[in-house]
Amino acid sequence: MPTLSEKNSSEAVRSGEMTERARTPTEKSETTNVAESTISDDASKHITGMEDIENFQIAKTTSNDVKEREEQDPNIVGWDSEDDPANPMNWTLLKKWTNVGLISAITFIVPLASSMFAPGVAQVSSDFNETNPLLQALVVSIYVIGLAIGPLVQAPMSEVYGRWIVYATCNILYVVFTVACAVSSNISMLIVFRFFAGCFGSAPVTIGGGTIADLFPPQQRGRALSLYTLGPVAGPAIGPIAGGFLSQSEGWKWIFWVLAIASGVITVGHIIFCHETSAVVILNRKVKRLQKETGNMNLRSKLDRQISNTEVLKRAIVRPAKLTILSPISVLMSVSTAVVYGNLYLMLTTITAVFEVSYGWSTGISGLAYIGMGVGNVIGLLSFSITSDKYLQQKSAKGLQLKPEDRLPLMLLSGPAIAAGMFWYGWSAKAQTHWIVPILGSSLVGAGNMFFFMPMMGYLVDAYTIYAASALAANTVLRSIGGGLLPLAGQSMYKSLGYGWGNSLLGFIMIGFTPVVLFIYRYGEYIRTRWPLNLD
């Protein structure tokens, strides 16, 4: 029987061979994240493929360095084989999709809560005798601001201590603060509890992309991303449908009770059925188990960067800020996302008022007007799901290099689609045409939003792989700030310009931003590789 040292040595040899071949994303992510060294500027300019960028982003090292180190050090612990079932990439489809399904479910509930409460604001103002319009708007948008703060801590924690523990802790606290919202006795309490609910609820919205990167190679991520992305985009549009009827029949407090019950059930399901997906954390646990069994304290993970946990956490906390400030491509994506998300929430603030005032609908019935945007979301989701993975698989079959930018073609349609929908919705609402006309316009906005958000999330996951949580956190911060602050000006804007010119202004903004999206698609690869960012 071979000794542990011999076994680890053979593993190291196999790992070195895998690194040299660099055939699949799984193999690369296992073998390259082991050392902190640098790539020359000249070398970094030639990183063009999906595989090369993952190598650069994860390791900043060369295949020969890794192979030589692992061959010389029998204490390095890795996967037992290329087909090791402990590797999340090798899990069964049932196990993978159970994780993705439950994470997508809570990711749907959290954004849903951002707008589900909107139809009940009038009742809250009446119950608490609150007449300040700014506080009335803030009680809705403060939740989205909380969604911007949470990722700054949750993403780093998930990359250091694992995804599962962050999900479980934050989901439980989300349920607690949602219940606190339901029992609030004044508007100040409600605002504070809504903020903390948003902070802790942001965990699945932030970390979910990292989980998908843990489980699927690039050419298989499209469907998982489609299911996961549905929540952040479709949730705010679907929420008012249920919230309108619920607040009308049972009162605004029951909105929070329903959210707490639904998220509580999903949280229990996640704790029972989901597992840790971070390869770094799984191998670290394996090392600790083997150290305890063998007494060999020199054993270490092949993904170990040989720095203290404190230093790892410090770097992880700084990582989203570095991406927000120092990465040109990340900044472009984040600003674009903030504009699109801000436009979405500005439009959402008008729908209830349009159909209550202009069409005489009740609070409950007016929520049905959001169905148009929901149908558009589904159309956009199906479009991305059908085309994205298929395109990458065709490129891979032809032996062509896969790049993160391969996710972006559908994004080129987002600006024109959103702008056309804004014009359609705004002017038909102003003219008080048949109610189906503005709803059809809103469906075009919904499809355009999905054309933008789904390629954007796919791009960030493919470009940053094991650091996808940090990349999405950086993006979520600006996105949530845009979605949380811009609607505060919505009532004043529509009061001054009306629904026609008010929504046209948003449409013109999207037209003006379309060249930015085209620029990202055409020059994104050059920007990403010309100014790489050391995220270790």
**Residue 447 in domain:** yes
38 compared with 195, residue with greater pLDDT: 195
Q: What is the pTM of this model?
A: 0.71
Same domain, 354 and 413: yes
**Residue 204 in domain:** yes
pLDDT over 90 (residue 302): no
Q: What average pLDDT does this structure show over 282-298?
A: 89
pLDDT of residue 100: 93
Give strand pairing partners of 77.
301
CATH number at residue 318: 1.20.1250.20
DSSP-derived 3-state class of residue 75: coil
pLDDT digits (tens, 9 = 90+) for 440-470: 999 999 899 989 988 888 888 888 877 777 7
8-11 long-range contacts (CB < 8 A, ≥24 apart) are 8/74, 8/75, 8/76, 8/77, 8/299, 9/71, 9/74, 11/76, 11/77, 11/78, 11/79, 11/80
Q: Count other C-beta atoms under 10 Å from residue 81's C-beta.
A: 11
Closest CA to 274 of 222, 215, 315: 215
In which domain, by residue range, is 43 found?
4-84+277-304
pLDDT of residue 342: 83
CA of 352: how far to CAs of 115, 122, 494, 496, in Å? Answer: 11, 12, 13, 18
pLDDT of residue 196: 95
Q: What pLDDT band is residue 339 in, cutting at 50, 70 and 90?
A: confident
Q: What average pLDDT does this structure show over 486-511?
A: 84
pLDDT digits (tens, 9 = 90+) for 465-497: 777 777 877 887 777 777 767 777 777 788 888
Closest CA to 208 of 444, 477, 460: 460
Contacts of 89 (CB under 8 A, 6+ apart): 26, 214, 215, 216, 217
Same domain, 103 and 187: yes
pLDDT over 50 (residue 272): yes
Q: What average pLDDT does this structure show over 72-100?
A: 88
DSSP-derived 3-state class of residue 408: coil
Which amino acid is it at 235?
A: G
pLDDT of residue 348: 75
Q: What pLDDT band is residue 63 in, cutting at 50, 70 and 90?
A: very low
Gap between the Cα atoms of 397 and 390, Å rounded: 10
Residue 488 CB-half CA count within 13 A: 15
pLDDT digits (tens, 9 = 90+) for 4-15: 444 444 444 333
Same domain, 380 and 291: no
Same domain, 342 and 248: yes
pLDDT of residue 158: 86
pLDDT over 80 (residue 33): no
pLDDT over 60 (residue 417): yes
Same domain, 267 and 287: no
Same domain, 73 and 159: no
Single residue among 262, 287, 304 that ends a domain in this structure: 304
pLDDT digits (tens, 9 = 90+) for 107-147: 989 888 877 887 777 788 888 887 777 777 778 778 888 88
**Residue 327 in domain:** yes
Same domain, 269 and 299: no
Same domain, 463 and 523: yes
Q: Pick left, alpha or beta for residue 129 (phi over 0 → left; psi -120 to 50 → alpha; otherwise beta).
A: left
pLDDT of residue 383: 87
Same domain, 134 and 63: no
pLDDT over 70 (residue 513): yes
Closest CA to 258 of 247, 272, 268: 247
Gap between the Cα atoms of 232 and 239, Å rounded: 11
**Residue 372 in domain:** yes
Query: Which tokens sit at 531?
Result: 């100014």
Q: What pLDDT band is residue 23 in, cutting at 50, 70 and 90?
A: very low
pLDDT over 60 (residue 341): yes
Q: What pLDDT band is residue 49 in, cutting at 50, 70 and 90?
A: very low
Q: What average pLDDT does this structure show over 330-343?
A: 86
**Residue 407 in domain:** yes
Q: Which of 34-48, 108-122, 389-403 has the lowest mean pLDDT?
A: 34-48
Same domain, 517 and 441: yes
Q: What average pLDDT does this structure show over 394-411?
A: 83
**Residue 535 in domain:** no
pLDDT digits (tens, 9 = 90+) for 154-209: 888 887 889 999 999 999 999 999 999 999 988 889 999 999 999 999 899 888 88
pLDDT of residue 372: 87
CA of 364: how far to CAs of 112, 252, 352, 421, 423, in Å? Answer: 16, 12, 9, 24, 26
| Cα maximum dimension of the chain | 83
Q: What pLDDT band is residue 37 in, cutting at 50, 70 and 90?
A: very low
**Residue 536 in domain:** no
Q: What pLDDT band is residue 71 in, cutting at 50, 70 and 90?
A: low
Counted domains in the chain: 2
pLDDT of residue 29: 38
Closest CA to 267 of 512, 102, 407: 102
Same domain, 14 and 117: no
pLDDT over 70 (residue 235): yes
pLDDT digits (tens, 9 = 90+) for 362-394: 767 877 888 888 889 888 888 887 887 788 788
| 334 Cα distance to chain centroid | 12
Q: What pLDDT band is residue 295 in, cutting at 50, 70 and 90?
A: confident
Same domain, 440 and 524: yes
Gap between the Cα atoms of 325 and 49, Å rounded: 25
| 131 Cα distance to chain centroid | 36
Query: Which tokens sit at 16?
Result: 């070195």
pLDDT averaged over the chain?
79
The DSSP string of 355-398 is IIIIS---HHHHGGGGHHHHHHHHHHHHHHHHHHHHHHHHHHHT
**Residue 335 in domain:** yes
Percentage of the chain exceeding pLDDT 70: 85
